[in-house]
Amino acid sequence: MEVIGMKKSGDNGLTEELWEAIVRNDASYDGRFIYAVETTGICCRPSCKSRVPNKNNVRVFRSVGEALSAGFRPCKRCKPTGEKLPDQEWVAQISACIDRNYNEALTLDVLADMCHGSPYHLHRTFKRIKGMTPVEYIQQTRVSRAIDYLTRSNKSVADIASTVGLPNTPYFITLFKKKTGHTPADFRRINRNGMEG
Ligand SMILES: [Zn+2]
């Protein structure tokens, strides 16, 4: 088999040839390289039918072993290690993906796309293992980050709302109150008073 020159364009090992193989899901490149996506922490075979990643977030490895030692997890869809990923690990992967991307417009569909499963299957598996739905986990992550900002910064409520991925401030306030029992402003006041007193 021809050895692909890992000529570096930038420092991610991604040549134009390899990028084309990823975009075309070219199975003839399977076994010749593995690509990983920084934003999801997942590595794939070139032929994977997952969404085409942002080119800037792609890293290329010669083998799946290298990708795993660099901290990436194997994709559940294309299974670059040749084994089925246990659901426990998949859910850990989904949670990590939420932890990294909670500040983006993250819906179940977007998440399913990033984590390489159908929305329905992802929702069910996540709920069975975590005891809460992916959407609930996203909300919980956003509220807990918002609590950090409210108690440790002077950012305005609207700023905090958009920083945690909820640019619609009234919606953020409603969600925050539902989860904590207080509006963000009250929560901040109570906590600051508590700290002073
Ligand atoms: Zn894949």
Domain boundaries, the chain: 16-74, 86-197
Cα(44) to ligand 1 centroid in Å equals 4
How far does the centroid of ligand 1 lie from the alpha carbon of residue 117, in Å?
10
pLDDT confidence of residue 5: 46
| 13-23 per-residue burial string, b: 16 or more CB within 10 A, e: under 16 | bbbeebbebbe
Q: For residue 27, how far is its CA from the centre of ligand 1 (angstroms)?
A: 12
48 is catalytic: no
**16-74 belongs to which homologous superfamily?**
DNA Methylphosphotriester Repair Domain (3.40.10.10)
Cβ atoms within 10 Å of 176's Cβ, excluding its own: 27
Q: Backbone dihedral region of 13: left (phi > 0), alpha (psi from -120 to 50 degrees) or beta?
A: left
Pairwise CA distance, residues 26 & 18, whole Å: 9
Convert the pLDDT of each residue in 43-91 to its tens digit.
999 999 888 899 999 999 998 989 999 999 999 888 898 776 778 888 9
- For the domain spanning 86-197, the CATH number is 1.10.10.60
CA 46 – ligand 1 centroid, Å: 8
**pTM for this model (two decimals):** 0.63
**Strand, helix or coil for residue 35:** strand
How confident is the model at residue 118, as a pLDDT?
87
- Judge if 16-74 and 86-197 fold alike in CATH terms: no
Coil vs helix vs strand at 139 = helix
- CA end-to-end span of the chain: 72
The catalytic residue among 43, 44, 78, 97 is: 44
